[in-house]
A and B are shown apart, each in its own frame.
Chain A
Amino acid sequence: MVKNNEILTADGSVKVINQKKKNILTPEIGDQISTSIITLILATFILLIIIYPLWFIIISSFSSGKAVASGAVFFLPVEPTLDGYKAVFDHHLLLISFRNSVMYMVVGTTINIFMTVITAYPLSRKDLIGRSKITLFFAFTVWFSGGMVPTFLLYRSLGMINTFWVMVIPGAVVMARMVVTRTYFQHSIPEELLEASKLDGCSDIGYLVKIALPLAKPILAVITLHYAVGHWNEFFTALLYIQDPSKYPLQLVLRDILFNAQTSIGGDAGSLSLDDMAMLENQQQILKYSVIVVSALPMMIIYPFVQKYFVRGIMSGSVKG
């Protein structure tokens, strides 16, 4: 199907240069029309499967709890209300944790980028003596780890438990991203540049800062995005090491709302009438849907703009130069 007038775009799809040949329903192939229809139907089906659960959450978050519980909400909000969102913003920890998460993400990603670059650049240099041994030193940590408990003991003895630093320092270099960056330095920046700048008396660090880094912007954008999303979505580190609610990241508060709310109702069930209980439960339900929407919102707003960079990231990781 790919004709000579079609080119491959960065994300692996096919782009037609010549508009005339855009129609792939070439007349000489008889079964083309039926297969095209089947393809379209199947693709639409998949689209619905992906979109409907997300849509369901959005419409439920705007509907009344009673309507959701009775199963009346399936295409548009029923008895529209903003109660769920009011409850979300009334939650005493949500805004604090939102701010915390932004802080963790910004500082953490900065550390990530710095550490990844200073690891990746020297290892990208073929003339580095001991290169393979040093690479093995880093790579080994991917294959073998001391485990959860010894790591916990280490952080405890370093006094990092319940501090800001425990959220931004661990995992400073993600090996896959380091390898991608290293490969980029090695293959996408012409070697002649290094030789030329060496002749002009440029040091290695000078070359990295003044020449290699500006040229590596595309890959830096990709790994920045991946690191940032990683920090934003991180919850287990916080679960392990953060006990002080004022330091909670957003994901931990979300977990409390999504998973522990039910138990708190169950606790004082005795003092409530059945009707009250049902109403409270419905309220909790809406709160959950609203909180899912609110937490996914920043991601969904940024997503269309950065989507292609993510795709590029997975591509550069898989295609080795």
Chain B
Amino acid sequence: METATQKKPVVSKPKKAKKIKLTKEQKRKQRKKMAGMWQLYFLLLLPIIYFIVFNYIPMYGAQIAFKDYLTIEGIWGSPWVGLKHFQRFIDSGMMWTLVKNTLSISLYALFMGLPFPVILALLFRYIPLKKYGKFIQSVTYAPHFISTVVMAGIIVEALNPRGGMIDTIVGLFGGDWETNLMGIPEAFSSVYVWSGIWQNMGFGAILYCAVLAGVDTTYHEAAMVDGATLAQRVWHIDIPFLVPQIVLSLILGMGNVLNVGFEKALLLQNTLNQSKSEMISTYVYKMGIAAALPDLSYTTAIGLFKSVIAFVLVVVVNKIARKYGEMSIW
């Protein structure tokens, strides 16, 4: 391990300048400078208040996860109960189902979704009829702008065994599509992931197109002089250039595995596929807000459980990404 790290030159970020304690004189000067740009702080005032109210107050409110929330008593007045709600979540057996469903869908989406934008970008790069390629490229972006509701509607209609798109296509070849995939729990993640690939691969290709366009032309010229075929040039020149971006997408995607787009899952969910489609966020929504008798403290605890793990993941992943390359989330 040690030798490996020594061998590989890690791009280290410049060391932060050491914090020097400011003398009184310097502090006075700084204050004067700040007063000179009071207008900038004035501009920031409204956003800061906005973020305190709409983002930080809910964080403060998340303390009801450790309380039994009573509407009359309010957030502050409700009695503390410690980790009761977390304990209940773990004991209920729901936790493993939810975490497993959430992770399996989002990891499936992450890994399966990775190669398609890359293939598309390579196709657009080497397609002989450029005008035609441009046209295809614009068409592949289009599904990205379909709203989640309409997308879910399209999925359900396409899979409809009574004259849906799949049924019609199968019918053309003389078959009959009888099963409704929406009713099969095991099929849920595939429906979710492949419809996502259909919707987003074109848009995802944009990033890789940019990387490919940035590849120095002299590499290709040299390879062509040496008689390399197109496939060889793609494999030995383009792919190595794409790999850093692919790895970065993967790393950043790992940081978001818990934040999988649950709106689509909520829409596609039905009583038949619930065992595989129920995710942390859909469960919180149903139990905490949509339910007739919402269990506010319990669902807040589940939400907090998710937020904390997601936060740790993002921080770790961002550290790795920083180490890995020149880019990070910020």
Contacts and interface: CB of A to CB of B under 8 A. Distances in A.
A12 B206 contact: yes
B288 to A, nearest CB: 5
A71 B33 contact: no
Contacts of A79: none
Given A39-B126, A49-B198, A71-B167, A147 B139 contact: no
Contacts of B153: 254, 258-259, 288, 291-292
Interface stretch (A85-93, A115-123, A216-224): A115-123
B30 A129 contact: yes
A57 to B, nearest CB: 7
Given A149-B288, A149-B299, A295 B126 contact: no
Interface residues of B, number: 110
Q: Could you say which interface size class chain A belongs to?
A: 35 or more
B251 interface: no
A2 B217 contact: yes
A46 B43 contact: no
A79 to B, nearest CB: 13
A197 interface: no
Interface string A276-312: 0000010001001101100110011001100100110
A156 to B, nearest CB: 9
B134 to A, nearest CB: 7
Interface in B49-76: 50-51, 53-62, 64, 75
A296 B213 contact: no
B142 A300 contact: yes
B100 interface: no
A148 B156 contact: no
Contacts of B202: 50
B62 A320 contact: no
Contacts of B289: 148-149, 152, 240
B297 to A, nearest CB: 9
A143 B311 contact: yes
B128 A39 contact: yes
Contacts of B43: 118-119, 121-122, 204-205, 208
B143 interface: yes
Nearest to B136: A47
A169 B229 CA distance: 56
Given A12-B209, A57-B157, A122-B41, A46 B61 contact: no
User: Most chain-B Cβ atoms within 10 A of its Cβ — which of A134, A169, A233?
Assistant: A233
Given A50-B198, A154-B58, A143 B296 contact: no
B128 A40 contact: yes
Contacts of A163: none
A258 B37 contact: no
B141 A307 contact: yes
Contact of A314 (B127, B203, B227): B203
Interface in A71-130: 71, 73-74, 115, 118-119, 121-123, 125, 127-129
A198 to B, nearest CB: 10
A310 B207 CA distance: 12
Contacts of B42: 205
B33 A42 contact: no
Interface of B: 30, 33-34, 37, 39-44, 46-48, 50-51, 53-62, 64, 75, 120, 123-130, 132-134, 136-143, 145-150, 152-154, 156-158, 160, 162-163, 165, 167-169, 171-172, 198, 202-203, 206-207, 209-210, 212-215, 217, 220-221, 224, 227, 229-231, 233, 263, 266-267, 281, 284-285, 288-289, 294, 296, 299-300, 303-304, 306-307, 310-311, 314-315, 327, 330
Interface of A: 1-4, 6, 8, 11-14, 16, 22, 24-26, 28-29, 31-32, 35-36, 39-40, 42-44, 46-47, 49-54, 56-57, 68-71, 73-74, 115, 118-119, 121-123, 125, 127-129, 134-135, 137-139, 141, 143-154, 169-170, 172-173, 179, 203-205, 208, 229, 232-233, 235-236, 240, 251-252, 254-255, 258-259, 281, 285, 288-289, 291-292, 295-296, 299-300, 303-304, 307, 310-311, 314-315, 318-320
28 contacts: A1-B220, A8-B214, A12-B212, A16-B130, A26-B224, A31-B229, A35-B229, A44-B136, A50-B143, A51-B139, A70-B163, A122-B41, A134-B48, A144-B311, A147-B304, A150-B58, A151-B54, A153-B64, A154-B57, A172-B50, A172-B54, A204-B40, A205-B39, A235-B149, A258-B156, A259-B153, A259-B267, A285-B157
